[in-house]
Amino acid sequence: MTVKIGVIGCGAIGLEHIKRITNTLSGGKIVAVNDINENNAKKIIADLHLDAKFYADGHELIRSADVDAVLVTCWGPAHKEFVLEAVKQKKYVFCEKPLATTADDCLEIVEEEMKQKKHLVQVGFMRRFDEGYVALKKTIDEGQIGAPLILHAAHRNPAVDEKYTTDMAINDTMIHEIDVLHWLLDDEYISAQVIYPRKTGNASSHLADPQIVLVETKKGIRIDVEIFVNCKYGYDIKCEVVGEDGIAYLPEPATVQTRQKAALNRPILMDWKQRFIKAYDYEIQAFINNINKGQKLNGPTSWDGYAAALTADVCVQAQQNPGKILPIKMKDRPDFYK
């Protein structure tokens, strides 16, 4: 069987997903495309020789009988309406992060999904499909390091542009740690604190960079995340889990080691797009395969979308109250999402 897919939003990531479904992955086909920028969407259909129809209205696309599943890849503020529509139509929907721009909007989707009594939503937090994180989770779950107690993480970018603001360190950068770490630890967040180290001379004047976010979980695990978006040296993701019996590290990408010019060295990526490039393939392939086999989706759920949104909100407040420990008051997780 082939899953017939409609795409809403053909910008940067939308186009990437269209290409991977068409050229790389198996079992899915782009049959419908929508974007408020009609010309661009049509150009993509033509350029990639897609056997797909353009829809001027995203809601119409969702309701079309031709469409089995929807990809919501338009800009964030429009996610909620399309995801909600898809759920109401009982159609599978893959929504790029964020699920919605507020925790309350996320909850609305959660409730609609529970009403439909079916897991229909997958959120685009692709790190859960990264082989490194998967292997790290396996190491933890096998009990190799005992119960996790502390997690040291870092999210480093070589540079960001002028438009990048302090809150984006949470909403655009750390958001990926927010999602992946509670999944990794099988836990939930209960408080957050932000502290500001000495500022790098390489950041724009309005930006606090680096930052350290300290998060506590229900089980008492303490997470520290260094966010450093003008670190210059490379795009680098660190995750070190300290357990009762040992420590486990997120693998670094396998690169060619050399001995050159008085040094043993291994390249570090400069471009974040390369770091999790395969995880994008795997998340979409999993989405397609699970639909095809009638299995439950195994990626981030709409509940995870809500948890991420709420946690990010508190972290942003914590940014505004440096040194203060703020509670993260999450609703009880419904059985439906356990």
Enumerate residues 6+ apart whose C-beta is below 8 A from 120.
86, 87, 90, 91, 92, 93, 113, 297
The DSSP output letter for 331 is P
Closer CB to a second copy, 68 or 187, in the complex: 187
Neighbour count for residue 235 (Cβ, 10 Å): 20
* CB neighbourhood size of 276 (10 A): 22
Please list the residues that pair with 93 across neighbouring strands.
70, 121
Tell me the per-residue interface mask from 87 to 116 with ligand NAD, x by CB under 6 A, - otherwise: ---------xx-------------------
Judged by CB under 6 A, how many residues of this single chain contact ligand NAD? 21
Q: Does 36 bind ligand NAD (CB under 6 A)?
A: yes
Q: Which of 305, 301, 295 is nearest to 336 (CA)?
A: 301
Q: 112 contacts which partner out of ligand NAD, a second copy, none, CB within 5 to 8 A by kind? A: none
Q: How far apart are CA 175 and CA 211, in angstroms?
A: 14
Question: How long, in residues, is the chain?
Answer: 338
Regarding 124 and contact with ligand NAD (CB under 6 A), the answer is: yes
Nearest-approach distance from CB 101 to ligand NAD, in angstroms: 9
Which of left, alpha, beta for 228 (phi over 0: left; psi -120 to 50: alpha)?
Answer: beta
Part of the chain binding a second copy (CB under 8 A), chosen from 91-99, 160-168, 252-260, 327-335: 252-260
Phi, psi for residue 212 in degrees, rounded to 5: -125, 125
Which one of residues 24, 37, 144, 321 is an interface residue with ligand NAD (CB under 6 A)?
A: 37
Minimal distance in Å, beta carbon 89 to a second copy?
Answer: 28
Q: Which is nearer to ligand NAD, 40 or 202 (CB)?
A: 40
SS (H, E, C) 53-64: EEECCHHHHHHC
C-beta of residue 107 within 8 angstroms of C-beta of residue 337: no
Q: Which of residues 30-69 bind a second copy (CB under 8 A)?
A: none
Min. distance of Cβ 93 from a second copy in angstroms?
Answer: 22
Binding mask 187-226 for a second copy (x = CB under 8 A): ------x-xxxxxxxx-------x-x-x-x--xxxx-x-x
| 193 vs 326: CA distance, rounded Å | 6
Q: Which stretch binds a second copy (CB under 8 A): 31-39, 56-64, 95-103, 259-267?
A: 259-267
- Which CB sits closer to ligand NAD, 28 or 124? 124
Reduce the DSSP state of residue 187 to 3 states and report it.
Answer: coil
Is residue 8 within the footprint of ligand NAD (CB under 6 A)?
Answer: yes
Q: Can you tell me the distance from the alpha carbon of 8 to that of 14, in angstroms, rounded to the nearest whole number?
A: 8
φ/ψ of 93, rounded to 5, equals: -140, 130
- Give the range of 70-78, 177-185, 231-239, 287-295 binding ligand NAD by CB under 6 A: 70-78
Determine, following the binding rule CB under 6 A, whether residue 148 of this chain makes contact with ligand NAD: no
75 binds, among a second copy, ligand NAD, none (CB under 5 to 8 A by kind): ligand NAD
For residue 178, the SS3 value is: helix
In the bound state with ligand NAD, the residue whose beta carbon lies nearer, of 36 and 150, is: 36
Residue 197 DSSP one-character state: -
Please report whether residue 9 would count as binding ligand NAD according to CB under 6 A.
Answer: yes
Place of tokens 């506590």: 216
The answer to the question of residue 75 lying near ligand NAD (CB under 6 A) is yes
257 binds a second copy (CB under 8 A): yes
Binding site for ligand NAD (CB under 6 A): 8-14, 34-37, 58, 73-76, 78, 96-97, 124, 126
